Amino acid sequence: MIHSNIFADRVQVVFRPTERGVVGLVDDLLGLCRLYQLRINFRDDSCCVRHLGADAQESLEIPVPKSVFRAALARIAAICNEQHPESVTPYSGEGTIAVLPPVSSCSEKGVAPSTCYVSFINTPRDQHFEMRFSTISAGGRNRFTVLLRDKRTVTVFGHALKYVENAANTTDCGSYGILSRTGGGEVLVALFRASEVIGVFSGDMTDPDAPGLVGPSTSAVTATRDAQRQRALDDPSQGL
Amino acid sequence: MCGAYRMEMVSPPMILLHGTTRQRAERILALGPDPRFCEPGEQATENGFSTYLDHGPFLFGDPDGYAHGKAREFPDEGGPVILVLQVPDAIVQNAITEWFPLSQGLVQFDLGSGLEELLAVWSQIASSALIRSLT
């Protein structure tokens, strides 16, 4: 699956040691927060990295020394406390972290800092970490998840969804566009042909197995998604 | 090997800090860091021995915070203290890895990454170590 390969590549790059050490690892993990919501557990000398919303079997096993993972969690706790004093202990906590945009996009106008929601446990017996993109970080924009018929999933940030009719061709089903507000106007930031779209969801798909999260069970999410995919495939006229 | 480390002791030692409870600090001083130390009710796991350069930076939280945290969690262990260690630079160098450059301020002694070397000269380190109480 294309999406999974990109995900795996990105995660593996993040876990590659650099001269920035564990601090760099955490910076890069938080940077990934712009793209993915992650749950990371440590077990048997490796990190189990799972993309929230993905199937459990799609998780990645990445060998990392335990002390590295524990130091990364300690760094997360330290950042939480730097930004919100005494909000977490070194051993557990949850909160939000403002993440600056990547250097490469700093020059781009309108790239706002992200906000990551993080929760973690860092005790000798148990270590895990979860991070989710906070929708407020997109400057009031929503996160749209687009399911395509070829099984790809695309995430787009924008303010609204709009059906765009193809007036020039009445046999064409038209397209779905994601709109974003800029400087008093609206621009299309993404356009998907309706015939290629199964569904568009607004908001995050959370990991229902994770403690503290509200949502249906994994099987329910999968079943809902599969049912919607099947209905859409059976009925090409079905919209969103 | 120990002889080589003793020779290195002439180089200026680095001051390393470890935040913990008094009971644990005294145990560490007496026996050396135990990478398989387990807290009450826990199973032994490999956790290494974490220390911080005394001048920082404290990018992973400061030793005082760890000491207070452990003392809060284990109130019968004599309160928060800082274990102050003078460790030869040559020993510290063994703990530096690609994940733990010294610039981060964290000196992480793991099995295979400096802990064995630290334990080899522990009696000398313990003789100059201090336990500083935190109020």
Residues of chain A contacting residue B40, judged by C-beta atoms under 8 Å apart:
none
Q: Best residue in B18, B38, B60 to probe A by mutation, most A CBs within 10 Å? A: B60
Whether B39 has a pLDDT exceeding 80, the answer reads: no
Q: Do B69 and A17 touch (CB under 8 A)?
A: no
Q: Do B101 and A78 touch (CB under 8 A)?
A: no
The pair of three-digit structure tokens given for residue B3, joined into one six-digit string: 């002889």
Shortest Cα distance from A78 to chain B (angstroms)? 5
Scanning every residue of chain B, which has its alpha carbon at the shortest distance from the alpha carbon of A23?
A: B104
Report the predicted TM-score, pTM, of the whole model to 2 decimal places.
0.68
Place of tokens 């050490």: A21
Instruction: Please give the Cα distance from A234 to A96 (Å, whole number).
Output: 42
Least confident segment among A4-13, A74-83, A196-205, B2-11: B2-11
Interface of B with A in 84-113 (CB under 8 A): 98-101, 103-104, 106, 108, 110
Instruction: Please give the Cα distance from A9 to B105 (Å, whole number).
Output: 30
What's the pLDDT at A239?
37
What's the pLDDT at A189?
76
Number of A:B CB contacts under 8 A?
Answer: 68
| Averaged pLDDT, A121-147 | 73
| Residue of A79, A67, A84 whose CA lies nearest to A122 | A67
Whether A141 has a pLDDT exceeding 70, the answer reads: no
Whether B67 has a pLDDT exceeding 50, the answer reads: yes
User: What's the pLDDT band for B98 if we cut at 50, 70, 90?
Assistant: very high
| Averaged pLDDT, B22-45 | 78
Whether B59 has a pLDDT exceeding 90, the answer reads: yes
| Averaged pLDDT, A40-59 | 80
Query: Which among A36-45, A108-117, A216-225, B18-27 has the top mean pLDDT?
Result: B18-27
What's the pLDDT at A116?
84
What's the pLDDT at A106?
45
Q: For chain B, what percent of residues have pLDDT higher than 90?
A: 76
| Averaged pLDDT, B94-122 | 95
User: What's the pLDDT band for A199 if we cut at 50, 70, 90?
Assistant: confident
**Contact at 8 Å (CB) between A185 and A170?**
no
**Contact at 8 Å (CB) between A197 and A147?**
yes
- CB contact, 8 Å: B65 with chain A? yes
User: What's the pLDDT band for B43 if we cut at 50, 70, 90?
Assistant: low
Instruction: Please give the Cα distance from A159 to A143 (Å, whole number).
Output: 8
Q: Do A19 and B48 touch (CB under 8 A)?
A: no
β-sheet bridge partners, residue A119: A94, A130
**Measured between CB atoms, which of B48, B58, B69 is closest to A89?**
B69
Computed over every residue of chain A, the mean pLDDT equals: 74
Determine phi and psi for B10, rounding to 5 degrees: -70, -20
Q: Is beta strand B80-88 parallel, antiparallel or unpaired with respect to A142-148?
A: unpaired
Q: Do A71 and B45 touch (CB under 8 A)?
A: no
Whether A132 has a pLDDT exceeding 70, the answer reads: yes
Shortest Cα distance from B101 to chain A (angstroms)? 6
- CB contact, 8 Å: A126 with chain B? no
**Contact at 8 Å (CB) between B60 and A75?**
yes
Q: For chain A, what percent of residues have pLDDT higher than 90?
A: 16
Whether A196 has a pLDDT exceeding 70, the answer reads: yes
